[in-house]
Amino acid sequence: MSEHGAPVLARERADSDAVLAAVEAADLRLVRFLYCDYGGIVRGKATHAAGLADRLEEGIALTSAQMAMNALDQLQPVAGMTAVGEVRLVPDPASFVMLPYVPRTGAMMCDLLTLDREPSPGCPRSFLQRVLRRADDRGMSVEAVFEHEFFLGREVDGRYHPADRSLCFSTVGMNAAAPFTDELIAALEAQGLRVEQALPEYGAGQQEISIRHAPALAAADNQIVVRETAKAVAARHGMVASFAAKPFPDQIGSGAHVHLSLWDIHTGDNLLYDPDRLPHRFSELGAQFVAGVLDHLPALTAITCPTVNSYRRLQPHAWASAFVCYGFDNREAAVRVPSTFWGREQGTTNLELKTVDNTCNPYLALGAIITAGLDGIERRLDPGPPLDVDPGLLTDEERERRGMRRLPGSLDEALDELAQDKVLGSAMGEMLREGFLTVRRSEAEFYRHRPEEDEFASHYARY
C-alpha cells in the first residue's frame, strides 16, 4: 500500500488475551476505561487488574445520565440520559496503552454499549465507526491526524501566565521547553505514537506537537492520548498545559487542524490524487469532498470548535480562518490543500480543515467532517475556484460575489446552524444530536453571565 495508507501505529491490533498478558507482564495495578463526552472532557473509570478479564467482556457500568454532563460538571436535561438506566463502558483492546506518566496503570478507549450489547445511540465513538462503515461501503478507507497546539503556563494566584515569552519557531523557545518536550516525546513513543515535529509556536509559551497519521478511529484515539500525556507531563514540570482555543486574550489561538485523506481499499491508491488533473493533481473526488465540507461548514463548526472560547480564535487574519472557502496552500482558508512532497506526491496528498480546535470531541469531529465530505461526493458538489488570497483582505462585496460566507461568530450561532443541518443531524441520530446541542447550549448560557477573565481562566483549566 502507498505511504499514506500504510500501517502507521507501533502497536498492532490487540485482542483481549494480549491485553491481559501485557498487564500481567508489566504488573499493572489499574487499567483506565476512558471516554470523551460532549463537552470534550476525557472521563472514565479504572478497574483493578484482578478483575480486568471480566471487565473486558462485560464493561463497567455507567449511569445513562453521565453523557448529559457539561464541562462545568452540571447535568443537563436530555431524553434518555437520566438517573434511570445504565450503559456499559466497553474497551477497545486495540487502543490499549501503558501510561508512562503514572505508576502501574494502563488505559483503553471505550465505546458506550446498551445492556443488550448494542452501540448506545448517544456514543460519539460509535458514531465515528458508523460513518467509517459508510465510507467502507464506498470502497474507501480514511486516514487522519490532528495537529496539536497548546500553551504551557503556570498558575499564580488563580490566574495562568505563559511559561515563556519566546518568539515563533525560535531556538530560545525550543531550549526553554526542551526538558518538557523530550519527556513528552518519550511518553508518546512509549504509547506507540510516532512524533514527527515539535516546535515553539506563535504565542508566548505555545507549543506544537505533530504526530503520524493513522486510520481515522485510531487518529481520534490518538488525539486523546496526546492531550492526556501533554497535561500529565507538564504537571511533572510544574506547569499547566492547556489545549483551550484562546486561553490568553493577548495571544494567538491554538488549533487542532485535521489532515485527512481517502484511500481505495482494493488498490491502496490515494483517492485525492490525480496525476492528470493539473496543476495541483487534486482529484475530482477530492474536490467534491471539499465542497461537501464547505457546504456544511457553518454547522460543522459547532462540533469542531465547540466552546464559547473557540470563537475568539476564529477571526480574520488569525491563521484560523473566519470564512467558508478553500485554497491550495492558503493558510487563511478554512480548507487548505497542502503542497505535496517531492517524489511522494501520491503519498502526501491530503486536505486540511483549519476550523478545528482541541476542545472538540475527536470522534464527533472526525465523524462529522467525513459525513459532510461524503455528502459532497454523493451529490457531486463543486467547490468552485480556489482562493489564492487572504479572504479577510477582500471587501464584503467581493466575498459575497464569490459566495464566501462568514463563519458563525459565536457558539450560539454555530449551534443554531447545526440544529438546522439535516445531513449532520441524521448521521448523528436524535439522541446524540440533542445531547450535544443541550450540553453545549448550557455552557454558552453559563458564560454569557460571567466576566471575560473567568472565561479565559476556566477554559485554560478545563482543557
CA distance 246 to 190: 30
CA distance 128 to 133: 9
CATH code linked to domain 3-120? 3.10.20.70
CA distance 74 to 163: 31
Cα-based distances in Å from 10 to 6, 14, 100, 212, 245: 12, 12, 16, 11, 30
pLDDT value at residue 11: 39
Same fold, 3-120 and 131-462: no
Cα-based distances in Å from 110 to 40, 301, 393: 15, 25, 45
For 89, the grid coordinates are: 463502558
Q: Where are the beta strands (DSSP E) in 157-268?
A: 159-162, 195-200, 206-211, 214-215, 240-242, 258-264
Cα-based distances in Å from 60 to 204, 281, 332: 42, 49, 44
- The per-residue pLDDT for range 32-86, each reduced to its tens digit, is 999 999 999 999 999 999 999 999 999 999 999 999 999 999 999 999 998 899 9
pLDDT value at residue 319: 84
Q: Which helix (H) or strand (E) holds 97?
A: strand 97-98
Local confidence pLDDT in tens for the 463 residues of the chain: 233 333 333 333 458 899 999 999 999 999 999 999 999 999 999 999 999 999 999 999 999 999 999 999 999 999 999 889 999 999 999 999 999 999 999 999 999 999 999 999 999 999 999 999 999 999 999 999 999 999 999 999 888 999 999 898 899 989 999 999 999 999 999 999 999 999 989 989 999 999 999 999 999 999 999 999 999 999 999 999 999 999 999 999 999 999 999 999 999 999 999 999 989 999 999 999 999 999 999 999 999 999 999 999 999 888 888 999 999 999 999 999 999 899 898 889 999 999 999 999 999 999 999 999 999 999 999 999 999 999 889 999 999 998 899 999 999 999 999 999 999 999 999 999 999 999 999 999 999 989 999 999 999 999 9
pTM exceeds 0.75: yes
CA distance 147 to 143: 14
User: Inter-axis angle of helices 411-420 and 284-304, to 10 degrees?
Assistant: 120
CA distance 313 to 301: 12
CA 231 centroid distance within chain: 16
Q: Strand 105-113 and strand 30-36: pairing? A: parallel
Q: Where are the alpha helices (DSSP H) in 311-428?
A: 345-348, 362-378, 396-401, 411-420, 422-428
Q: Where are the domains of the chain?
A: 3-120, 131-462
- The per-residue pLDDT for range 346-360, each reduced to its tens digit, is 889 999 999 999 999
Q: Which helix (H) or strand (E) holds 107?
A: strand 105-113
Backbone phi and psi for residue 75, each to the nearest 5 degrees, phi listed first: -70, 140
∠ at Cα 387 (384, 390), nearest 5°? 150
* Biggest alpha carbon–alpha carbon distance for the chain: 67
CA distance 414 to 408: 5
On the question of a cis peptide bond just before residue 93, with omega within 30 degrees of 0, the verdict is no
Backbone phi and psi for residue 229, each to the nearest 5 degrees, phi listed first: -70, -45
CA distance 309 to 314: 10
Question: 499493572: which residue's cell?
Answer: 28
- Distant-in-sequence, close-in-space partners of 363: CB < 8 Å, separation ≥ 6: 36, 124, 125, 127, 128, 220
CA distance 250 to 244: 14
Contact 374, 289 (CB under 8 A): yes
∠ at Cα 454 (452, 457), nearest 5°? 115
Which CATH superfamily does the domain covering 131-462 fall into? Glutamine synthetase/guanido kinase, catalytic domain (3.30.590.10)
